Amino acid sequence: MAGAVLHVSTDLANVVRTALVTEETAATDGFVQRLHPTVRLLGITALLVAAALSSDLAALAGLLGFAFVLAVASRVPLGPFLARTLTLAALSGVVVLPQLVLTPGTALFTVGGVAVTESGLAYVALFETRVVASVALVTVLSLTTPFGTVVSTLRSLGAPTTLTTLLALTYRYLFLCFAELHRALLARESRQLRPRGFVAEWRELGTLSGSFLLRTVERGERVERAMRARGGARPASPYRRPRPLGVRDGVFATVVLGALALVVLA
């Protein structure tokens, strides 16, 4: 049980560490980072829509290649980029893999007495390429754009102030809770001098869960009082200052429009 608790604590620390890596990557001087946030968000969203609507394998492969080029040009670490992309691709592959034999069509070969059809293979290839391309584009956006910039861009595009404020508070509060729980678990492990039984471990974990819940509620109340003391009833101001569009933004918008045209014509 102690190993499980330490494993959970390590996972929470990795969540916070991943968020810090994302913020560091977003602060580097890369291609996507220097784009206007509105152009960046709308452009990648348009590419995601194109990937969702496209049924051409070559077009989806082109979008995947474009996402990889954006990652390299933006100096995104290939480790986190490939880990996020391939992990979700593997999960989706497990879900869609039965279509190899469930989709009717011409049998290509037989595995264990089950025929893999040509239509099934084409469906799985198309589905997986679409998923990988979409996840790669979202990963590029998440690794090059701080969450505060996304919130302020949504606000500048007309999203309700209440919605954007809730998104910002939820994002920050989640990582605050992760860090708080990580500290509580580490403190618990440091005070444990000898192994305990199964029942004692679960009883102490129940006490820790109740204590963490109370601390979470108390922290939320303190945050609310601090917001009210600083004028929290007023609409929140944007996270960033507006800046003019540049040549790079026009080039990116042109490339996105060209990709959309190719997808539509494919």
Residue 22: pLDDT band (50, 70, 90) is low
Confidence at residue 128, expressed as pLDDT on a 0 to 100 scale: 92
Rounded Cα gap, residues 74 and 145, in angstroms? 11
Percent of the chain with pLDDT over 90: 9
Q: Is residue 193's pLDDT more than 70? A: no
Which distant-in-sequence residues (6+ apart) come within 8 Å of 101 by Cβ?
114, 115, 116, 117, 120
Contact, 117 vs 106, CB < 8 A? yes
Asked if residues 242 and 156 have their Cβ atoms less than 8 Å apart, the reply is: yes
Per-residue pLDDT at 98: 83
Structure confidence at residue 13 as a pLDDT band (50, 70, 90): low
* Residue 19 predicted with pLDDT over 70: no
CB contact burial 122-155 (16+ within 10 A = b; e otherwise): ebbebbbbbbbbbbbbbbbbbbbbbbbbbbbbbb
User: Looking at the predicted structure, is the pLDDT value of residue 85 above 60?
Assistant: yes
The pTM is what?
A: 0.74
pLDDT value at position 266? 65
- Find the mean pLDDT for residues 144-171: 83
**Of residues 250 and 189, more confidently modeled:** 250
- pLDDT, tens digit, 9 for 90 and up, residues 89-140: 888 888 888 888 777 877 777 767 777 788 888 888 899 999 999 999 998 9
Tell me what pLDDT residue 131 has.
92
Confidence of residue 1 (pLDDT cuts 50, 70, 90): very low
Question: pLDDT tens for residues 66-84?
Answer: 999 999 988 888 888 888 8
Mean pLDDT over each residue of the chain, to the nearest integer: 78
Give the pLDDT of residue 23.
64
Q: Is the pLDDT of residue 207 over 60?
A: yes
Q: Where are the domains of the chain?
A: 2-265
Q: Would you say residue 149 has pLDDT above 70? A: yes
Using a 10 angstrom Cβ sphere, with 0-12 exposed, 13-18 middle and 19 or more buried, the burial of residue 197 is exposed
Residue scoring higher pLDDT (161 or 139): 139
Selected residue with higher pLDDT from 117 and 232: 117
The predicted-structure confidence for 26-54, as pLDDT tens digits, reads as follows 667 788 888 888 888 999 999 999 888 88
Sign of the alpha-carbon dihedral angle for 72, 74, 80, 86:
negative
- CA separation for the pair 204, 75 (Å, rounded): 45
